[in-house]
Structure 1
């Protein structure tokens, strides 16, 4: 009975936070970070401004929660794609297209990533952990491809992972500056250079 009673308030709090994050995601996507207000987010979530402040101290905390949720969703989807043996290229293409449908969130992600590089930023620890998790996961995937003979000779898995993440993030920033830019084709070309098809000898496919 005691345990059941403890679950009630916790579940209610988690549900309320989820409502706030959903409302904030809509508000940020429509109005941008500067245009969105905590009062607007609270109204969308169906609570008072004071009620929102019970869960989040400021707008920076709300934004971090929104972007962390988006990151978690994409992480879970990427794991499901791997388990389902789906094409990594198709997953990456779908992810980029999804980001392009919400450019304001993509812009906020880029801005917060840069700001959180400062050790004193409240989201610094989260982004450091997130970067290491993604880098480690990508490097492991590259090691699997190296074992299959699918990395060019002289390119180690850690370097391949760093290059891949730099290209993926850099292309999105370029698109934010010019939304007529095609970033899917350049990503495909990069993958062609880094990931050799199965059965081809890496030593014979490395450009001179």
Structure 2
């Protein structure tokens, strides 16, 4: 339960609460299945088996595999937003959170592989995750651009670097580091390399 304006608000009860809990369990299982087998090879049956239900029961919560994938991606984003500060008005904190995110991603190689594979496949407009990735990159560009503009106004971004260049370069570096890390995890430090790049853009270190 949560407290707001002096009033106690309780979470959902009864069948709805049970259904929502089941939905979250399914999403966590689906993320693991897709991370281990990929979206194309990971089946609804695999997911259903993980949570101890029939495929028909799973389809009661998610009408299709593409709908399940969309919900998994949204769930992953929600978890990331809860863990890290991505308020673009806090420029330095956004950059620090990006470094922390890169560090966290190194602990979930299966998820990183899934996202790298999906982002490449989703460049096709017909892919079920195309819309999600398009919106996600638009959001990320906007967030980092706002953060770097705030840093430029405060004098923390080097004068020879534009916020636009910094935003594009940061996103490109994060994506590229993930691929290199998947291919050779012993030679690539995603968080360390990202921190070094960002420090090179700033007038004072993170």
TM-score norm. by structure 2 comes to 0.78
Aligned counterpart, 2:203 = 196
In structure 2, the gaps of 5 or more residues are: 1-12
Partner of 2:57: 51
Shift of the alpha carbon at 1:69? 1.5
Contiguous gaps of at least 5 residues in structure 1: 1-6, 199-208
Kept in 2: contact 1:56–1:62 (CA 8 A): yes
Residue 185 (structure 2) pairs with residue 185 (structure 1): no
**Partner of 1:25 in structure 2?**
31
Number of aligned residue pairs = 193
CA drift at 1:89: 5.8
Q: State the shift of 1:15 in Å.
A: 3.1
1:137 to 138, 143, 152: 143
Compared CA separation, residues 104 and 188, structure 1 to 2 (3 A): same
Question: Would you tell me which structure has more helix in proportion to its own residues?
Answer: 1
**Equivalent residues in 2 for 1:111-150 (5 A)?**
111-150=117-156
Secondary structure of the structure 2 residue equivalent to 1:119: coil
Structure 1 residue 90, shift from structure 2 partner: 5.0
Kindly tell me: are residues 11 and 72 of structure 1, through their superposed partners in 2, closer, same or farther at Cα, counting changes over 3 Å? same
Larger displacement relative to structure 2 (52-61 or 106-115)? 52-61
Give the secondary-structure state (helix, strand or coil) at the position aligned to 1:197: coil
CA pair 32-127 structure 1, distance change in 2 beyond 3 A: closer
State the match for 1:102 in structure 2: 108
1:79 equivalent in structure 2: 85
Are 1:67 and 1:109, in contact at CA under 8 Å, matched by a contact in 2?
A: no
Bigger RCO of structures 1 and 2 (CA < 8 A, at least 6 apart):
2
Instruction: Check the 8 A contact 2:105/2:112 in 1, yes or no.
Output: yes
